[in-house]
Amino acid sequence: MTRDTMTKRSNRAILFAKISDKKTDLLSLITVSENSLALSDEQIRFIEEKLVIHSLKEFESIFNLNYSQWKEIASEKTETLKNVADYYNVMKQNEQCKEYRLWYFDEKEKEVTPQKDNLVSVKVYEIWLGVKSFFEQGTDLELLVTNLSYQDLHATDAQRKLSLYMETVNEKSDRTQQITFAILPEIPMLSEQEKITRIRFEGRQHEKEYEKFDYDALTFVLDILKREHVKCCYQYVTCEESSAKFFAASGRTKMQDNALRLQKQVNCDAITCCYPNLTWIEDQVYIGAAYIVVGMLLAGKTEKSATTMPRELYPYGKMVREEFIKSPFGAMLAYSDGADRKQMILFCARSQEWGKKEYVRIDRENSDV
């Protein structure tokens, strides 16, 4: 093994999300015995072949997501960057501000979106958009898709299997398969966990979700990931209190309080709250911010770097910005003040670990703050 092979780091994240019951998941590919101390090279290679993706195209291929029919979004349905300020002011005057963002078009570039008649669940489509956004943030990115829900993690030997896998790939001298970040499934704000009114788009019929969230499964996953020094980014289920509209109007206090309560409940500070979620207008769904944040960080981008995501319509007020400048917390994708900047920036990227009188940065290894 050469020195280059031993020292090279992978640009790999692990995604805990359920795509399909009909497809292979991470746990089903792992076999352990009572005396197992690590997974075999054969098992690791099989997981690499089945679940590690390097592009959106590979994701579609592995999980049979057939987006073969496309259409162009008519440019007249969007606002150009120069019209955003006037449009926002009019909405504000009419008290009609909504928590969505716009997609902009250059003269020679157009965004495309799947046809509505290409049947796929809204939830899977949201994950598809997240994976798409992840790979847009840089080159040579990798994503291990577990295809697991929190309920799946209660399977026999689930904890032992996940633990052995993480130990095997993260503690070898060959770091090319090492996982450095995790994207976690949506987590409800603790004040909303019993009964959630999901908001996917302003004006769309809201969906009620009554299932109680499985914090036991989340706790053991975070415990394993923390031991292996994996930085975990999560996002909230989009309810009223976690919406960009509420956040921009009321500041971050309620979301930060919820994040710190979650940290105490799961006994883990190696987590990062990513907010708010971003909305894709045409199909009235959202893109989870955690996908974008992790993609940026794996691509080597730091705080104040530009994302590939267009500037959102609903900018954050002075109070919210001052809160983040005074004491950065979590990961925030923000409106750029520069008139010529079409993209949002990564305003801050911090874990919930406190050190040296600030929350610890996650935008580079072994950061000093």
Q: What is the pLDDT of residues 302-318, one digit of tens each?
A: 998 988 887 665 567 67
Highest mean pLDDT among 45-54, 114-123, 239-248: 45-54
Separation between Cα atoms, residue 221 and residue 16, nearest integer Å: 10
Separation between Cα atoms, residue 357 and residue 17, nearest integer Å: 34
Q: What is the largest CA-CA distance in the chain?
A: 68
Angle (CA) 216 233 262, round 5°: 40
| pLDDT per residue as tens digits for the range 201-227 | 544 444 555 457 888 999 999 999 999
Separation between Cα atoms, residue 92 and residue 168, nearest integer Å: 53
Separation between Cα atoms, residue 258 and residue 247, nearest integer Å: 13
Separation between Cα atoms, residue 232 and residue 230, nearest integer Å: 6
What mean pLDDT comes out for the span 234-253?
A: 79
What mean pLDDT comes out for the span 260-281?
A: 85
- Better-scored residue on pLDDT, 123 or 311: 123
In which band, very low, low, confident or very high, does the pLDDT at 359 lie, cut at 50, 70 and 90?
very high
